[in-house]
């Protein structure tokens, strides 16, 4: 079944704005074009199946946003290899470099020191949630606090540790 004339009209009328919208996320016009085209394919498939779409323009923008965010999440993992590169050169080494190990150990030391500066209950909340992977409900029950307070303590520890790791900011 073909998409409705309404959906096609909405797509054609808003295509340029959709491209601008996608490009705000992606900063790459060619990828934005692909995202908008994929959004149209998804809208037309749904509309073509007889599903009633109350607000096709809003739905189209939602599809574009979601596709752009998906592309951004997966983008850094996808790389191109220049022509002429030997096949073994593009295979990542599973072992981290010695520089990476040193940097990660240093970051971990800073984070542990930052968390150690916090009150014991906040440290415990952070440890339970981030290291022991307990849910906020479990953290709250173990520390005898509300779930909101458990979330606040975990966030407080995370913010403090991040500030220590990143250093002072010029705000």
**Domains of the chain: residue spans and CATH:** 5-77 (1.10.1740), 98-166 (1.10.10.10)
3-state secondary structure of 54: coil
**Structure tokens, 88:** 């073994």
pLDDT band, residue 103 (cuts 50/70/90): confident
- Lowest-pLDDT choice from 20-24, 84-88, 114-118, 123-127: 84-88
Rounded to 10 deg, the angle between the 56-74 and 5-26 helix axes is 30
How many percent of the chain have pLDDT more than 70?
A: 84
Q: Is the pLDDT of residue 75 over 70?
A: no
Q: Is the pLDDT of residue 53 over 50?
A: yes
Q: What is the pLDDT of residues 5-20, one digit of tens each?
A: 777 888 899 999 999 9
Q: What gap in Å lies between CA 152 and CA 122, rounded to an integer?
A: 9
**Structure tokens, 66:** 């979601």
Q: What gap in Å lies between CA 168 and CA 36, rounded to an integer?
A: 40
Q: Is the pLDDT of residue 57 over 80?
A: yes
CA 57-60-63 angle, 5° bins = 155
Are residues 156 and 122 in contact, defined by beta-carbon separation less than 8 angstroms? yes
- Cα maximum dimension of the chain: 64
Choose between 79 and 45: higher pLDDT.
45
């Amino acid at each position: 079944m073909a998409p409705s004339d309404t959906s096609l009209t909405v797509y054609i009328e808003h295509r340029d704005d959709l491209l601008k919208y996608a490009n705000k996320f992606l900063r790459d016009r060619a990828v934005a074009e692909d995202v908008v085209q994929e959004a149209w394919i998804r809208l037309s498939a749904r509309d073509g199946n007889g599903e009633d779409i109350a607000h096709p323009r809003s739905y189209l923008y939602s599809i574009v946003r979601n596709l752009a965010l998906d592309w951004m999440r997966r983008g850094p993992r996808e790389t191109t290899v220049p022509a002429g590169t030997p096949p073994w050169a593009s295979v990542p080494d599973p072992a981290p470099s010695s520089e990476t190990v040193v940097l990660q150990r240093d970051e971990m030391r800073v984070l542990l020191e930052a968390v150690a500066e916090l009150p014991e209950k906040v440290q415990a909340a952070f440890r339970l949630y981030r290291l022991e992977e307990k849910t906020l409900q479990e953290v709250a029950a173990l520390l005898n606090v509300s779930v909101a307070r458990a979330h606040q303590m975990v966030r407080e520890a995370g913010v403090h540790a991040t500030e220590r790791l990143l250093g002072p900011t010029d705000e």
